[in-house]
Amino acid sequence: MQTPIRTRQSVPLWRDERFLKVAGQVIFALVIASIAYLLLRNMVEGLRRQGTVLGLSFLSQTSAFDIGEYLIEYSRNSSYLRAFQVGILNTLLVSLLGIIFSTILGIVLGVASLSTNILVNRLSRAYIEFIRNIPLLVLLIFWYSAVFLKLPRVREAITLPGPTYLTNRGVGIPWGVPTATFKTYLWVLFIGLAVALLLAFLMVRRGRQTGRTPLVALWSPLLFLGIATTGWLVLPAPPLETSLPYVKGLNLDGGLILSPEFMAILSGLVLYTAAFISEVVRAGIQSVAKGQLEAARALGLSSFETLRLVVFPQALRVIIPPLTSQYLNLTKNSSLAIAIGYPDLFYVSNTIINQSGRAVEMISLVMLSYLIMSLLTSAFMNWYNQRVRLVER
């Protein structure tokens, strides 16, 4: 008996799905590659006509421009690379301070817009609606040109207790100046922190063993504060000296002088981002089921304990992902400092482009820096999110 030969049903090549998938991808890759090739060739060609070649060696040339504010040593004899670093540090400074202040203000506004007090509620809602519907750039330029530059001259400075001077040349606040013992004191603080953390760790472990959690949040900071105070008193000279701002001729001196540009970018970013953060906070708190509140009340928790132990831990899970993107937005928005002249990463890089004509390299560097900052922030927040998220089966 002859077994029927199974003729292999051959699908024509152009209808074979496996083939089509591979072919489609190959064609796609080829198209992308050839477009990239064309663009790159045009660019190299264009650059050659301008008489430049790509490369980062220009970064070691002398910058020959001044930067108004720097956290590390900088002068016009420094290199472009140094200028770039100054810019990065300024961006980080503004972003970090912005994140801290806008989180505080955002939480206050978010809680206020859930308040049962109708005036507080409406005021906060009105503020949020207004800020969310105007462009940040307009807000920044408004703060800079219509507020901080319109402050009185140094002679007629507005003096607040402290003393704090508000002038059109900047805002002077009291500040601590490091003395000779400052470095030693930093070590004291570091050791104090380590001891406090060790204590917290031991207490938490003991709490796990005995089932009675001691007040870690009280004792650990107390220990740290104790070590810090003792260090301050024991050292031969206090590590910081208060320096008060004062008017000297047509300028402010002493203390810490915050430039109008810095004040404008910081306050603009904080006021703007806080409105968005408050919406995030509000949504998070509202996401906690009402039964949870009722259960907490039934257990006899006070309203503060309810917030601290029941509402916030649960709200946090909802809050963190959108909060991360708000932090990222703030960091990226700090690049708008170019409109008001605060020397952040983008502003400095733009000056470097104008001085050296190296647009391609500098824009790539700037993009890379922002990309790294974004990736680091989201990596950190993802790690934190892992810790607070609901552990399910």
Partner 1 sequence: MAALSRPTLPPPTERFTLLGWLQKNLFNSWYNALLSVLTVVFIYWIIRGLLVWATSVAEWQVVAANLRLFLVGQYPVDELWRVWICLYVLAFISGASYGLWSRGVGAFGIALLAGPLFLSALPFTLNLRLLMIGIAVTGFFGWLLAMRLPALFRTPVTWSWVLYMVFVILMVRGFTPAGGFLPVVPSNLWGGLLLTFLLTVIGIVFSFPIGVALALGRRSNLPIMRYSSIAFIELVRGVPLITVLFMAQLMLPLFLPAGVTIDRVLRAMVGITLFSAAYLAENVRGGLQSIPKGQEEAALALGLNGFQRMALIILPQALRAIIPILVGQFIALFKDTTLVAIVGLFDLLGIAKTVLAQPEFIGRQAEVLAFVSLLYFMFSYVISYISRRIEVAQGVGER
| Interface with partner 1 (CB under 8 A) | 21, 24-25, 28-29, 32, 39, 42-43, 45-47, 49, 115-120, 123, 129-130, 132-139, 141-142, 145-146, 150, 332-333, 335-336, 338-339, 346, 350, 353, 359-360, 363, 366-367, 370-371, 374-375
Rounded least distance, CB 316 to partner 1, Å: 22
Provide the β-strand partners of residue 256: 173
Nearer to partner 1, 97 or 359 (CB): 359
Would you say 260 and 68 are in contact if contact means Cβ atoms under 8 Å apart? no
What's the CA gap between 277 and 270, in Å, rounded? 10
Rounded least distance, CB 22 to partner 1, Å: 9
Nearer to partner 1, 109 or 366 (CB): 366
Beta carbons within 10 angstroms of residue 334's beta carbon: 26
Rounded least distance, CB 23 to partner 1, Å: 11
Rounded least distance, CB 194 to partner 1, Å: 35
Nearer to partner 1, 43 or 388 (CB): 43
Nearer to partner 1, 96 or 367 (CB): 367
Tokens describing residue 268 = 């603009």
Rounded least distance, CB 328 to partner 1, Å: 8
What's the CA gap between 124 and 122, in Å, rounded? 5
Burial tier of 26 (Cβ tally within 10 Å: 0-12, 13-18, 19+): exposed
- The single residue listed with the structure tokens 């993802």 is 382
Beta carbons within 10 angstroms of residue 4's beta carbon: 6
Nearer to partner 1, 134 or 186 (CB): 134
Rounded least distance, CB 28 to partner 1, Å: 6
Q: 334, 363, 393: which is closest to 102 by C-alpha?
A: 334
Nearer to partner 1, 132 or 248 (CB): 132
Nearer to partner 1, 280 or 336 (CB): 336
DSSP-derived 3-state class of residue 171:
strand
Rounded least distance, CB 15 to partner 1, Å: 12
48: amino acid identity, one letter = R
DSSP-derived 3-state class of residue 169:
coil
Rounded least distance, CB 136 to partner 1, Å: 7
Q: 275, 309, 271, 277: which is closest to 293 by C-alpha?
A: 309
Rounded least distance, CB 309 to partner 1, Å: 21
Nearer to partner 1, 123 or 216 (CB): 123
Rounded least distance, CB 146 to partner 1, Å: 4
Q: How far is CA 222 from CA 215, 218, 219, 228, in A?
A: 11, 6, 5, 10
What's the CA gap between 352 and 369, in Å, rounded? 15
Nearer to partner 1, 136 or 311 (CB): 136
Nearer to partner 1, 256 or 359 (CB): 359
Q: What angle do CA 306, 310, 316 make, to 5 degrees?
A: 125
Nearer to partner 1, 117 or 184 (CB): 117
Rounded least distance, CB 67 to partner 1, Å: 19
Beta carbons within 10 angstroms of residue 327's beta carbon: 22
Helices assigned H by DSSP within the chain: 17-50, 80-112, 118-132, 136-141, 182-210, 216-234, 260-286, 290-298, 303-305, 312-333, 345-356, 359-388
Taken in order 130, 132, 133, 138, the sign of the CA dihedral is: positive
Within 8 A by CB and 6+ apart from 55, the residues are 361
